[in-house]
Amino acid sequence: MNNLREVWSKRFIFYINELQKYLKYIISGHIAIVIVFVIGAAGYTYSEWLNTAPKDFPAFLVVSFIVSILLALSTPVTLMKKADSVYFLPLETKLGEYLKLALTWTFFSSIIVPLAALVVSIPLLTRIAGSTSQEILFFFGAILIWKYWSIQTEFQYRWASNGKNVWVDYFMRMILLFAGLYFLLSGTYLFLLAVVIIQILYLIAWKKKKAEVPFPFDHFIEVEQSRMMRFYRFANYFTDVPHIQGMTKRRKWLDILYKLAPYEQKHTQLYLVVRTFIRTNDYFYLWVRLTALAMIGAIFIPFPIVAIIFTSALSFATVIQLRQSLAAGEEFRMDLLFPIKEGARKKAVDKLIRIIQLIQAIFVFIVILVQAGFIMELLFIPIVMIVISELTLRVSKI
């Protein structure tokens, strides 16, 4: 292992293959449909809003704030493993070559989201704020430069502080980025120059402190493990990931839901399915997140047809993912020892999903009543959600 560039290359190839292996399950047919619906609904809402947006809308503030948050998210992708704290020690003087490759990949993999935000904000900046194409081009270049600065600064800070109080550094970088972006968009170049000087000094200060301490292997290994574990947990919503085990929680306050399965042999599978849904974090929080998104969409999307499409797509996603997850599992279970009819688990899963989708629709109905009152077009939203859920149950196969 004398060539760290070769070590990085092998790990990078393994990392890309790992991403591809699980992304093909994440971006499958039904999820692709949901993404198309969501993007279409968001795009239509955004374009309609631009036609009616007030001229005094603070476009520079909003764009600067959103982009600064995305630029400040610059956690280094090092691909380090547990054993590196031992095996990399003899090569610590050559570690710079490995880290340079890591930070380069971090830049190219994380710049996509800020640039996507820039593309989305172009109509807002040109129509509402009156920005010219040359100013947009300067904004594009500034995003590239500031993303590189943000990655370098966070890396230097984590090295110098061994990862302590990272949120302080994130907050400082976000403030500096927000100020720089706003002064650039508004044409206040004198203040922009002052912000740039502060950013340079901030980076230099942490670079000097970094030179005084050894490389914190344990911290960067922990960061890398946490980052990959987040990806695996997300992928676990769509397929079984052997790298993780689902977390469970008691949730005593939901014991009332067990009454859905009376104490009889024919309700054995329903009881097991309800218990699995309530106590498994992955399943329960998946339903909570999608329900919350449906409620938010029903409240804030101003066009009823778009709100119907958006909430329907979320209902579809909820049913598909929970049905596949709850009905899956060919491993041995204690209930297989009992003479329970074949297909009982499928019926139990469908019954539970009908109940929780009805609850989801009721929550959406309540927020619509509170926010907008009895508007007939909006009241169709929970009805369509129930219809889509039922159609998905009948059409999909498990």
Which residues does the chain have with pLDDT short of 70? Answer: 1-2, 28-34, 237-240, 243-247, 328-340, 342, 372-377, 397-398
Domain containing residue 67: 4-234
Indicate if 38 and 165 belong to the same structural domain.
yes
pLDDT of residue 374: 63
pLDDT of residue 122: 92
Indicate if 293 and 222 belong to the same structural domain.
no
Indicate if 285 and 202 belong to the same structural domain.
no
Q: Is residue 209 part of a domain?
A: yes
Q: What is the DSSP letter of 372?
A: H
pLDDT of residue 43: 81
pLDDT of residue 105: 95
Indicate if 158 and 268 belong to the same structural domain.
no
Question: Distance between CA atoms of 294 and 357, rounded to whole angstroms?
Answer: 11
Indicate if 202 and 287 belong to the same structural domain.
no
267-283 pLDDT, tens digit per residue, is 788 888 888 888 887 78
Indicate if 314 and 354 belong to the same structural domain.
yes
156-208 pLDDT, tens digit per residue, is 999 999 988 899 999 999 999 999 999 999 989 999 999 999 999 999 999 99
Burial 43-52 (b: 16+ CB within 10 A, else e): ebbeeeeeee
Q: Is residue 187 part of a domain?
A: yes
Question: Distance between CA atoms of 372 and 378, rounded to whole angstroms?
Answer: 8
The crossing angle, in degrees rounded to 10, of helices 59-72 and 133-161 is: 40
The tally of domains found in the chain comes to 2
pLDDT of residue 38: 72
Indicate if 98 and 180 belong to the same structural domain.
yes
Indicate if 60 and 146 belong to the same structural domain.
yes
pLDDT of residue 181: 95
This prediction has a pTM of 0.72
Residues with Cβ within 8 Å of residue 18, at least 6 apart in sequence: none
Q: For residue 195, give the H/E element and its range.
A: helix 189-210
Indicate if 131 and 199 belong to the same structural domain.
yes
